[in-house]
Structure 1
């Protein structure tokens, strides 16, 4: 806990020199970080922000890799089911269509949004935001899209869909002959890349870069 004198000294500082902890709301003087250093809240230990190297280039590479994996992850077979002499290839898209044709239109829409539409929109927003920083153009649009991206973050639920696939595999393995498809590998790779991207794409550095204070965002 900072003492009252510390709080009084913070009162006269401009806002761009202050940072508030997202977990415990402690107001702190913004520390100056070197490359690959991170700032933590002294009260709760939450990571306030980090200063990672080559944020834009590394994030762009991950976004492009994720976009390349998007189509095979959603349209290549996740698993192949062999039952009573019949074969069926199951994909993420065929799962959505199957739910809709079964009369569960609402569930189909939710699955489509959370497993296909919103993850794609998130990746496209990240791509445009990073390009506005890299090319130093249209940063006002980048700011708008990055705010929009943060509103969508909790709606992309690839990990929930993956858990559903794993549960289905466990339940069906004793009832029919199953073989895993290339789509499952692409889907897992897409999920891991998106998690990695969340770590690499430091929000603090992206906001600073979009505001024009640091063109290279930690390069």
Structure 2
């Protein structure tokens, strides 16, 4: 009876006051958190979310760093290959171009989307969302862009491209002279910054900041 009564009470609460566990789907009242505190599901122990200070400013710094790394990561040499007296310099963009010229247009398009286009679009969406929160304008567009960003999250696969590059280096290292380029360092740095950004830019604080409910995200 108590469970049924609790369910009835929750059904009468406004949606803004409720939250659900992503792991076990338990519906519960949304807890009020102070900065640095985290909320866990009472049934399965899954961390629901955490309230981090200065989310917008820290995320903005990481987005700008990622945008600055994006172009050298994709257009500077990843490695230089010397084989039988012939030298070649490879970049992410030259790899896409080589696939397209060799007749594998479909593969080239997929690699271009997953390693170049989608990661850039994700960063631009994040940047514009953070701008709308920081300067309190265009919140409706910010909400739309953040939804678009969440739909694109699974399409950016920089780590897959990096693993492919490392496998190629290991296989070729005994056949040719390989010199790792600045582009590879920028590519690895871009991947690490994006992972850090995913951790820092907590979704629940961004959603609440876009709706004007969370001031801790900016301060």
TM-score band by shorter chain is over 0.9
Asked if the contact 1:133/1:216 (under 8 Å) is kept, the reply is no
Distance 2:89 2:139 in 1: 44
Distance 1:15 1:174 in 2: 61
Task: Indicate how the Cα distance of structure 1 residues 51 and 209 shifts in structure 2: closer, same or farther if over 3 A, else same.
Answer: same
Distance 1:12 1:192 in 2: 44
Task: Indicate how the Cα distance of structure 1 residues 137 and 215 shifts in structure 2: closer, same or farther if over 3 A, else same.
Answer: farther
TM-score by length of 2: 0.96
Asked if the contact 1:72/1:183 (under 8 Å) is kept, the reply is yes
Q: CA deviation at 1:101?
A: 0.6
Distance 2:43 2:91 in 1: 47
1:130 match: 130
Distance 2:90 2:42 in 1: 50
Distance 1:42 1:72 in 2: 46
Q: CA deviation at 1:24?
A: 1.5
Spell out the pairing of 1:1-219 with structure 2 (5 A cutoff). Answer: 3-217=3-217, 219=219
TM-score by length of 1: 0.96
Asked if the contact 1:133/1:210 (under 8 Å) is kept, the reply is yes
Q: CA deviation at 1:45?
A: 2.3
The gaps in structure 2 that reach 5 residues or longer are: none
The gaps in structure 1 that reach 5 residues or longer are: none
Distance 1:97 1:38 in 2: 46
Distance 1:19 1:218 in 2: 22
**1:154 partner SS:** coil
RMSD in angstroms over aligned alpha carbons? Answer: 1.2
What are the Cα deviations for residues 156-177 of structure 1, in whole angstroms up to 9, with x where unaligned?
0000000100110111011101
Asked if the contact 1:69/1:186 (under 8 Å) is kept, the reply is yes
**Alignment size in residue pairs:** 218
Asked if the contact 2:35/2:216 (under 8 Å) is kept, the reply is no
